[in-house]
Amino acid sequence: MTKVEFIDYISSMTGYRHHEKVIEYSITQAYGQMVHDYLNGVIDSFQYWTKEYTEQAVTLDATKDLYYTDLPAAVVSIGSPTGAVREINTNQGQGLNFFPMGEDDWEYFYGLDSETTNSDIGYEIIGDKVWYFNMDDDIATVRMVLAIPFNEFDATDEVTMPAGRDYDITRLTIELLNQSNPKTING
């Protein structure tokens, strides 16, 4: 089901009493809760709840001497920011290993010989950027699979979720909408 179809479905289920932005906001809240609960329990099924972004530019920050990529969308909070990054790899399919790192890990690895003997690439999300450890200038773009909030999907994007979870999101969204005033919207 596309994002706009899901909003229309919820609207019809509630008798068209709520503005579409209020519905989108409520779905975003319900969807975020489901994504959080699901990804914290069944991590091996990451093809759900995600969106793929290809050809994301890798840029060198000359002052830090580190490479980074701007996040193409907000991500769902799943404990740590890197938890919402389900996969990073090159668009060229070089098969390099990208792995999440915490801030403390940077301190342990920086300056070690592993930088020159190992092609694994560590990454950390800080703000709206993905920073890379052990990245070289051969990689111009990356492919990312991110767990994003519902409101970050484009209107025509397919929003995938495990069977039955659409019902749970619908139920939770309707509960949230029943607590709000119909046809109200901020801004």
pTM summary value: 0.81
- And the tokens for 42? 């069944």
What's the Cα-to-Cα distance from 171 to each of 4, 112, 178, rounded to whole Å?
18, 52, 11
Distance CA 110, CA 130 (A): 17
Per the CB < 8 A criterion, the answer to whether 34 and 176 are in contact is: no
Distance CA 130, CA 69 (A): 5
Domain ranges of the chain: 1-49+160-187, 53-148
Distance CA 56, CA 91 (A): 9
Note the pLDDT tens digit of each residue in 32-63: 888 877 767 654 455 678 899 999 999 999 99
Low-confidence residues of the chain: pLDDT under 50: 43-44, 187
What are φ and ψ of residue 7, in 5° steps?
-65, -45
